[in-house]
Structure 1
Amino acid sequence: MNAALEFVHVDTWLEFWWVMFGLTGQLMFSGRFLVQWIVSEREGRSVIPLAFWYFSIAGGVILFAYAVYRRDPVFILGQSLGLIVYARNLWLIHTETRRD
C-alpha cells in the first residue's frame, strides 16, 4: 500500500486521496473533449453537445476544490473563471430551450 503513496509522491493517505480526487476531476474535464469529438464525428460537423458543458462543470468543480486544497492561486483563478463561463453557457442553453 505504501507503494501507492510513493508512486504519487505524497506522504499521507489524505494527500493520496486528494491526488486521486484531482485526477478524477482532470479525467472528467478531459473527457469533455472526447464527448465533443464523438458527437461531431457522428454529425459530420463541429458540435458542442450539452454533455460537454456538464463535463466541464463537474471537472471544473472538482479541480477547483483540489486547487483550493493545494492552495494554488493560479490554479484557483483559472478554474473559477472557467466555471463562470461553463455555468453561463448552460444558463443560455436552458433559457433557449425553455423559450422554444
Structure 2
Amino acid sequence: MNMSREAMWLAVGFIGQLAFTGRFVLQWLYSEYKKRSVIPVSFWYLSIVGSLLLLAYAIYRADPVFIIGQSFGIVVYLRNLQLIAKQKPVKDEQPSA
C-alpha cells in the first residue's frame, strides 16, 4: 500500500499526539498504582517522543506557534532527564511537586 505524503504526515501528527497524550495516562495510572502523585521517568521519554513527532509535523505544516511551543518543551523534558540522571540512586519514579 502506497501512502500519500499528506497521509504520512497526518500519521506522524497523530502518533505524536498519541504519545504526548499517553504520557498523561501513564502518569495518572502510575500515581493510582502508587497511591500518591508521582512522575515516572518514562513520562519524560514519552514527552520527548511525542514532542519530536509533533515538532516534525508542525515544521511540515509551517506553523510557527506550534514549532516554538514544541521546541521549548523538548528542552524542558531533556533537562528533567538530566536532573534525574544526576540523582544518587537511579529510581523508577520522581516525586512530583
Taking structure 2 as the reference length, the TM-score comes to: 0.86
Query: 3-state DSSP class of the match of 2:79?
Result: helix
Give the structure with the larger helix fraction. 1
User: What's the % identity of the aligned pairs?
Assistant: 55
Runs of at least 4 residues off by over 4 Å:
none
Per the alignment, residue 39 of structure 1 pairs with 30
Gaps spanning 5+ residues in structure 1: where?
2-11
Q: Partner amino acid for 1:73? A: P
In our comparison, the structure showing a higher alpha carbon Rg is 1
Higher relative contact order (CA 8 A, sep 6+): 2
Figure out how many residues of one structure are paired with residues of the other and give that number.
Answer: 88
Give the structure with the larger strand fraction. 2
Per the alignment, residue 9 of structure 2 pairs with 18
Alpha-carbon distance in 1 for matches of 2:21, 2:85: 23
Map 1:1-100 onto structure 2 (within 5 A): 13-96=4-87, 99-100=88-89
Taking structure 1 as the reference length, the TM-score comes to: 0.84
